[in-house]
Amino acid sequence: MRVVFLNRFFFPDHAPTGVLVSDLAFFLRRQNIDVLAITSRARYGSEGPPLPKREIIKGVEIHRVWSTMGSQPGLFGRGLDYGMFFVAAG
């Protein structure tokens, strides 16, 4: 069995949804379940270089795609950012 998570943020990022998904992914991997996380290269609320496109952390395969981050202010901007992530991940 393979579980695939699609979430905009993932470990080592500290965004709340990323922390929850990361914890669940690492737990499942410890149960010998194959886990893939598809996430963005952006960092939530912090500066720094983009995260690597591909890596394996604690046995979880992580594929990171490009997405915008804070390109527009407000609810519309956040919706645009999420939409761009889902387009890139698709």
pLDDT tens-digit series, residues 20-32 = 999 999 999 999 9
Please check the confidence at residue 70 and state whether its pLDDT lies above 60: no
Predicted local confidence at residue 15, as pLDDT: 86
Prediction pTM value: 0.81
Cα–Cα distance for residue pair 35/21, rounded to 1 Å: 11
Domain 2-89 in CATH 3.40.50.2000: yes
Chain-centroid distance of CA 82 in Å reads: 11
Domain locations in the chain? Answer: 2-89
Please state which of the ranges 13-22, 45-54, 55-64, 69-78 shows the lowest mean pLDDT.
69-78
**Average pLDDT for 2-27:** 93
Longest dimension (CA), the chain: 42
List CB contacts of 9: < 8 A, sequence separation 6 or more. Answer: 15, 17, 18, 21, 39, 40, 42, 44
